[in-house]
Amino acid sequence: MERRTLLKALAASPLLAAPLHGRAAPADLKSVEALQRDWKMLLAQGADVTLDTAPLKRSNEEWKKILTPQQYNVLREEGTERPGSSPLNGEKRPGVFACAGCSLVLFTSAMKYESGTGWPSFFTLIPGVFGTKKDFMLIYPRTEYHCIRCGGHHGHLFDDGPKPTGLRYCNNGVALRFVPKPGTA
């Protein structure tokens, strides 16, 4: 079966629920590039995050001490949180989203949109923060993405996001930590 037909056939699955674009994405790719280039405008001064992508290695035992059981399941075992369970779904304040495992900054609030899937969704990212691989956990191949610094699993990348990127980074909220930037419009 052709992939798109298969996706349609599986559209009833909550993992593939048709995204509703409640929040407008930028009109053109140049504006998306500007969001990627100027993302630090949404970084609060003295925020407890890192921009360092050098690999951070920890043993499973160490991760278990640092992470909650739910964070461990998602980040270290490629688990998926229940849709609609993350408070970050409704997070609309200005700020940045960092990896809950290692604090590397991954997205800004300006890259987030309401996909209607029940998972925090982003149409672009801060460049260079993720590695990807194909996984076959469901019937069809999906693009898994993980933090380039700690290797923690974050979510899957789909091609049904809003224009102009057409991308949907479907991220587990439990794998993210939001750092607001107060006083920003």
- Which residues of the shown chain bind Zn ion in the complex (CB under 5 A)? 99, 101-102, 104, 147, 149-150, 152
Catalytic residue positions, numbered:
170
Please identify which residue in the block is written with the tokens 């270290």: 76
Nearer to Zn ion (CB atom), residue 154 or residue 162: 154
Supply 70's token pair: 């739910």
Amino acid in position 149:
R
Helix (H) or strand (E) holding 67: none
- Measuring CA to CA, which residue among 163, 180, 28 is closest to residue 97? 180
Cβ closer to Zn ion: 25 or 43? Answer: 43
CB of 104 to Zn ion, least distance (A): 5
User: Which lies closer to Zn ion via its Cβ, residue 25 or residue 126?
Assistant: 126
What whole-number distance in Å separates Cα of residue 107 and Cα of residue 96? 6
Rounded to the nearest whole angstrom, what is the least distance from the CB of residue 1 to Zn ion in the complex? 36
> CB 75 → Zn ion: shortest distance, Å?
7
- For residue 105, the minimal CB distance to Zn ion (Å) is 10
Q: In whole angstroms, what is the distance from residue 115 CA to residue 161 CA? A: 8
Cα–Cα dist 155/153, whole Å: 6
When computed from its CA atoms, the radius of gyration of the chain, rounded to whole angstroms, is: 16
Give 120's strand partners.
none
Q: Which is nearer to Zn ion, 96 or 102 (CB)?
A: 102
Enter the tokens of residue 130.
């993720």
Contact 52, 102 (CB under 8 A): no
Please say which residue, 26 or 101, places its beta carbon nearer to Zn ion: 101
| Residue 153: CB minimum distance to Zn ion, A | 10
Distance CA 101, CA 94 (A): 21
